[in-house]
Structure 1
Amino acid sequence: MGQRVRVHEVRVGGGEFRVVRPEPAPGRLVLLDDHHWLSMYADREGAAALVDLWALAARSARSLVYLPIRANPVPEGAAGEGEPIALDVVLVHHSLQFPTAAWKRVRAGLGAGRPQTTATPERDFPDPDAIDYERRGHRAFRDHLDFAVAAHTLFVVGSAPAFREHGTTLRGLLDEAPASAHRDPGPGHFCVELTPGTWSRPRNRRNVPGRLHIQYAASWRL
């Protein structure tokens, strides 16, 4: 896998942060805060970009991987009830201890950056049968994802193992969804879900929806 990106070094206050963003930004990828849950929509192109960037995040403990997607048009039928809020996405390791309150200033200081091509192995995530799902319920287990929202951006925070194991779930959008859409070309529904912590809650301790629902949009109609 390869991904063209721009790399930015931004100094805010007393800290310097490395931000990596794809070039171009994924066009067929949308994230909405529906207030009840977080709803993402992706076609095959968008899903492939998401999986590549997720794999990059798993290997980039010192970087913020930034997906500027909140200006993307929403596919037909995607908008939920009420007035959903479009969000960007940042993938970041918890070891970086990035203060999300600083994100607005970091984003404003990105500038042009420098172009780079990244590479990750074709299979950077474990097979499903290699994951011990039961250990996630142990009190000592720390490799969970966490969600936070700041400046119209969803922060997905985790360790390298957390990103890799949940990346296996994401790969279902590429490995299973297109075949499912081909078998059943009607208005089917193929999705995967990511949740923080050991079990699903309506909202997490930061009052962010506790479920990221990612739906495969085989036909992206605007």
Structure 2
Amino acid sequence: MTIHQVRTGPAEYRVIRAADGPGRIALYDRHHILDMFVDRDGLSRLTSLWSLATRSAHSLVHLPLRDRPGPVDFPDEYPAVALDLLLVHHSLQFRPADWKPLRARLGPGRPHTTRTPDPDFPAEYPTARRHGHDHLRFDRTARTLVITGSPTAFRHEGTGLRTLLTEAPAAHHTWPATHQCTDLDAGPPPKYPTPHSPVPGRIHVQYCPDWLL
């Protein structure tokens, strides 16, 4: 990964940009839903980066994806737009509209090697009622899906990624024709929304070990 320190206006941000790694990940906005496709290594990498974002209260975690080919051809009536992924801790009060100018100033960054943390998501979905920023928020800007939330929100939705990573490979081996997936959900829209591109409130994450459908 590379580390970038970027100032925009009065604020300075630390951006962690994931380098190319093992596995495949693709993310598409299909207008009625967000589709993500992952193979085994890609799912493991995504889960680790999601866990990193959960613990990185002072950093933006950027996963460049929009130039990566996906495993499917989408019907013409549902044109799909490939997106990057940006994970943001809510306490930064980062405005999605600031991402495009900030991204343009990232430069090469400083190479950094680190071990991503082991996922610490609950084994099961928590049942306690959540409020406000304990839900994720999805925004789309500059061909990037910006996901903002608290550690509670990231951990709650990360449970689905952890379960998929734990169960899907064995399930696919036993029942290769079975659809293995999980959904990552945004919370209700804010009471006073800010202008942003309309974006679906659900990411359908599909396990594609052979990258073929």
Normalised by the length of structure 2, the TM-score is 0.89
The one-letter code of the counterpart of 1:47 is L
Aligned-pair identity in percent equals 50
Please tell me whether residue 31 in structure 1 is matched to residue 27 in structure 2.
Answer: yes
Match of 1:216 in 2: 207
Q: CA deviation at 1:132?
A: 3.0
| Residues 168-210 of structure 1 deviation map (CA, whole Å, 9 limit, x = unaligned) | 1111221011111101123x211100111169xxxxx953111
Please tell me whether residue 190 in structure 1 is matched to residue 180 in structure 2.
Answer: yes
The one-letter code of the counterpart of 1:55 is S
Q: Which residues of structure 2 form unaligned runs of 5+?
A: 190-194
The answer to which of 156-165 and 79-88 deviates more is 79-88
Give the whole-Å Cα distance in 2 for the aligned partners of 1:178 and 1:166: 20
Contact 1:44 1:173 (8 Å CA) reproduced? no
Match of 1:147 in 2: 138
Match of 1:135 in 2: 129
Please tell me whether residue 113 in structure 1 is matched to residue 113 in structure 2.
Answer: no
Give the whole-Å Cα distance in 1 for the aligned partners of 2:139 and 2:98: 13
The one-letter code of the counterpart of 1:194 is L
Give the whole-Å Cα distance in 1 for the aligned partners of 2:169 and 2:78: 30
Contact 2:88 2:149 (8 Å CA) reproduced? yes
Q: CA deviation at 1:119?
A: 3.1
The one-letter code of the counterpart of 2:127 is Y
Contact 1:89 1:154 (8 Å CA) reproduced? yes
| Residues 26-55 of structure 1 deviation map (CA, whole Å, 9 limit, x = unaligned) | 651001000111000000011011001001
Contact 2:16 2:60 (8 Å CA) reproduced? yes
The one-letter code of the counterpart of 2:144 is T
Please tell me whether residue 180 in structure 1 is matched to residue 167 in structure 2.
Answer: no
Match of 2:4 in 1: 8
Give the whole-Å Cα distance in 1 for the aligned partners of 2:97 and 2:21: 23
Q: CA deviation at 1:118?
A: 2.8
Normalised by the length of structure 1, the TM-score is 0.85
CA RMSD of aligned residues (A): 2.1
The one-letter code of the counterpart of 1:52 is S
User: Any idea what SS the aligned residue of 2:113 has?
Assistant: strand
The answer to which of 51-60 and 27-36 deviates more is 27-36
Contact 1:25 1:68 (8 Å CA) reproduced? no
Give the whole-Å Cα distance in 2 for the aligned partners of 1:215 and 1:123: 19
Match of 2:118 in 1: 122
Q: How does 1:64-75 map to 2 (within 5 A)?
A: 64-75=60-71
Runs of 4+ in 1 over 3 A off after TM superposition: none
In structure 2, the CA distance between the partners of 1:180 and 1:23, relative to structure 1 (3 Å rule), is: same
Q: How does 1:198-209 map to 2 (within 5 A)?
A: 207-209=198-200
Contact 2:6 2:105 (8 Å CA) reproduced? yes
Give the whole-Å Cα distance in 1 for the aligned partners of 2:122 and 2:3: 27
Give the whole-Å Cα distance in 2 for the aligned partners of 1:141 and 1:209: 18
Match of 1:202 in 2: none
